[in-house]
A and B are shown apart, each in its own frame.
Chain A
Amino acid sequence: MNTQNNNVISLDAVSKRYGTETVVSDVSFNIQSGECIVLVGHNGAGKTTLMKMMLGLTRPTSGNVEVLGANPANNSKIAQHKTLGYLPESVAFYDAMTGSEVLAFYARLKDVSKTACENLLEVVGLEHAAKRRIGTYSKGMRQRLGLAQAMLGSPQLLFLDEPTTGLDPSLRHQFYELIDALHKEGATSVISSHALNEVEARASRFIIMKSGALIASGTLEELYQQASLPVRLKVSVTPGEAPGVAERLGSEVTISKVNNQSLSLSCFDDDKMPLIRRITDLGDVVNDLQIMPPKLDEVYNHFMNGGQS
């Protein structure tokens, strides 16, 4: 198959146990070149462990991990790849070194020029703190330096573990612009996050993890479909007409709330259009109609609560 060859990363029935504790259990997925995958899950869902296995830092207890056509844990072949960037969760540096010293050290290992280093420091807004010891940096500054080192040498494969924690909104925005720019050049990225909505716009696909197991994966649309959560409608009517309208809509419609002048309804996606037609058929009584698709958080909670919404 043609798509098979496009796999940058492929996991096959991967499990990881520490002693008796199962951290990742039987996870399989493929990631193709150019995708932006978001691993979603609570803390302790196994996201970081999955990433470490993809990076070859940890070996799976069973199953196979393949990254760029090789086993990453085998002789650190993945490490030979100069176009890989990684930002660990709560990144740590050599505290005695200054920001620019550390970045220069990592740049030398990746064969990246000094000017590229200085540019990156500017991009993440650390140019003024570059000559200070990292020991004096705040958490946000360390995170920014972490981003800078992950971006060294325009990586083609990015692993970012909770990348935006400790970043202010403007920098967060800037960070996603950087990721977008890399994606335009064909980069593949794996981003872990404990929230869906933040990365919503960037992600080509989501992988939702819970207690070490993959419980759902797919594009945003696919996730909505899988969750099959009801669409909510809010109908505003002429004051006093609400109970009458509720009666006329009939019993097939789930009505969650009736006020004097508004009704809250919910229905499944397939029933949405017929219902809307029936509401508009009601005529002048209806002043306004608001359609509220399920929120991302609700989709997420749906999966997290084991399928019950």
Chain B
Amino acid sequence: MKILWILAMKELRDGLRNRWIAAAIIVLGTLALALSLLGSAPTGSIKASPMDISVISLASLSVYLIPLIALMLSFDTLVGEFERGTMMLLLTYPVTRWQVIIGKFLGHLMILFIAIFAGYGGAMLIMTLVTGASMEGWQAYVSMMFSSLILGAIFIALGYLVSVFVRERATAAGAAIGLWLVFVVLYDLLLFGALLIDEGQLIGQQLFSMLMLASPTDTYRILNLSMFDGVSQAAGIAGVASEAGMSSTLLVSVMLLWIAAPLAATLLIFQRREL
């Protein structure tokens, strides 16, 4: 446990030292603030609380931004240490390989936690102070922050898998961008393309739900847009998720599985890896 803490704190300090955390907080904070302030304009006509609107717009933003930040944080963490030779030295210390992975993961999770909660949380506070908006709907906002953290954790784990798999940092960077494109852009495009062509003949409700759950970003979207009534009404998808048999427990479980599987694969590959 102590070793994990030492390794995690090293990653956290690295994040603070290279201003990584500061940059992430500023990016997430300003975008959240901009979206919240701009997004609160149409609330009057559909009687949704500004907080709910914020959750919808921030969830849509996070789907793109959080995976990108998480991958940037994680893609070179293993291959970089292999390349420089620092991993070799580290492993001759009283540290096992799984401790290296889990320690790094905890450290990166802390970085992401700070970035999301300081960025989004700070924006929420400013928004309520400036616009005097009610705090109504804050549960949805806080749960959006937590689910964003889980989304980030998924892409940290995927980044590790890339990082342990490739031989060079440059390859890892390319693979990380590819991963982001596939999960964030291409998968949805292909899915909707397929739906359009199919016109409801082969892809039924059941299969469609499965296909949505197969993508961590879609799972995150459904979770945020459907978990709270206010949000789902404002998003215009009230009851869609529950009709499809997707409880929030199921959605969160799917996301946790998306963390566990890449981490386990990373560990397996790392155990066999020769330095």
Q: How far is the CA of A81 from the CA of B96 in the complex (A)?
A: 11
Asked whether B14 lies within 8 Å of A76 as measured between CB atoms, the reply is: no
**Which single member of B10, B89, B91 contacts A76 (CB below 8 Å)?**
B91
Given B13, B17, B92, which contacts A57 in the complex, CB threshold below 8 Å? B92
Q: Tell me whether B85 and A79 are in contact (CB under 8 A).
A: no
Partner of A94, one of B3, B86, B97: B86
A52-B275, A57-B274, A96-B18 known; A88 and B96 CB under 8 Å? no
Whether the Cβ atoms of B95 and A109 lie closer than 8 Å is yes
Interface residues of A, CB < 8 Å — how many? Answer: 31
Contact B86 A79 (CB under 8 A): no
A91 within 8 A of B: yes
Q: Is the CB of A105 within 8 A of B6?
A: yes
Query: How far is A59 from B85 in the complex, measured between Cα atoms in Å?
Result: 17
Residue B88, interface by CB 8 Å: yes
From B86, B92, B95, B96, name the one whose CB has the most chain A CB atoms within 10 angstroms.
B92
- Chain A 60-104 against B: per-residue CB contact (8 Å), 1 yes, 0 no? 000000000000000110111110101010111110110001000
Complex Cα distance, B93 from A201, in Å, reads: 29
What sequence of 0s and 1s flags, for each residue 293-304 of chain A, a beta carbon within 8 Å of any chain B beta carbon? 000000000000
In this assembly, does A106 line the interface, its C-beta being within 8 Å of a C-beta of chain B?
Answer: yes
Q: In the complex, what's the smallest C-beta–C-beta distance from B66 to chain A, in angstroms?
A: 25
- Does A149 sit at the interface, judged by CB under 8 A? yes
A42 at the interface (CB under 8 A from B): no
A139 nearest CB across to chain B (Å): 14
Interface residues on B, range: 20 to 34
**B47: CB under 8 A from chain A?**
no
- Taking a contact as CB atoms under 8 Å apart, the answer to whether A86 and B92 are in contact is yes
Residue B94, interface by CB 8 Å = yes
Given contacts A88-B89, A96-B17, contact A79 B275 (CB under 8 A): no
Q: How far is the CA of A79 from the CA of B95 in the complex (A)?
A: 6
Contacting pair B274 A86 (CB below 8 A): no
B83-120 to A contact mask, C-beta < 8 Å, 1/0: 01110110111111100000000000000000000000
- State the CA gap A90–B88 with chains docked (Å): 12
Distance of A97 Cα from B13 Cα, bound (Å): 10
B88: A residues at CB distance < 8 A = 52, 57, 88
Expressed in whole angstroms, the minimum distance between the Cβ of B197 and any Cβ of chain A is 47
CB atoms of B86 and A108 under 8 A apart: no
Q: Mark B8-24, 1 if CB is under 8 A from A, else 0.
A: 00100110011000000
Q: Is A110 an interface residue (CB 8 A)?
A: yes
What residues on A are CB-neighbors of B86 within 8 Å? 92-94
Instruction: Report if A80-B94 is in contact (Cβ < 8 Å); known contacts: A88-B85, A88-B88.
Output: yes
Given contacts A57-B274, A76-B91, A109-B94, contact A90 B18 (CB under 8 A): no
Q: What distance in Å separates the Cβ of B61 from its nearest Cβ neighbour in chain A? A: 30
- Complex-state Cα separation, A94 to B6, whole angstroms: 15
A110 engages B93 (CB within 8 Å): yes
Does A55 have its Cβ within 8 Å of any Cβ on chain B?
A: yes
Residue of A nearest to B96 (CB): A76
A238 interface residue, CB < 8 Å from B?
Answer: no
Q: How near does chain A come to B220, taking the closest CB pair, in angstroms?
A: 32
Docked Cα-Cα span, A69 to B144, in Å, equals 52
**B89 partner residues in chain A, CB cutoff 8 A:** 86, 88, 91-92, 149
Residues on B with beta carbons closer than 8 Å to the beta carbon of A82: 94
A58 touches B274 (CB 8 A): yes
* Complex Cα–Cα for A82 and B14 (A): 25
Max count, chain A CB within 10 A of own CB: residue among B17, B84, B93, B94:
B93
Q: Chain A contacts of B14 at CB under 8 A?
A: 94, 96-97
Does A92 contact B94, Cβ atoms closer than 8 Å? no
Q: Can you name the residue of chain B whose Cβ is closest to the Cβ of A91?
A: B89
> Given the complex of chains A and B, what is the CA–CA distance between A249 and B96 in angstroms?
69
Are the C-beta atoms of A109 and B92 separated by less than 8 Å? no
Residues of A within 8 A of B274 (CB): 57-59
Q: Which chain A residues lie closer than 8 Å to B97 at the CB level?
A: 76
Q: How far is the CB of A164 from chain B (nearest CB, A)?
A: 18
User: Could you jot down 10 A-B contacts, CB within 8 Å?
Assistant: A55-B91, A57-B274, A79-B92, A80-B94, A88-B89, A91-B85, A92-B84, A106-B93, A110-B94, A159-B92
- 10 closest A-B pairs (Cβ-Cβ)? A92-B85, A86-B92, A57-B275, A109-B93, A58-B274, A92-B84, A108-B6, A76-B96, A82-B94, A55-B92
Which B positions have Cβ atoms within 8 angstroms of A?
A: 3, 6, 10, 13-14, 17-18, 84-86, 88-89, 91-97, 274-275
Q: Can you add 5 more A-B contacts, CB < 8 Å, to A76-B95, A110-B93, A159-B92?
A: A59-B274, A79-B91, A92-B86, A92-B89, A97-B14
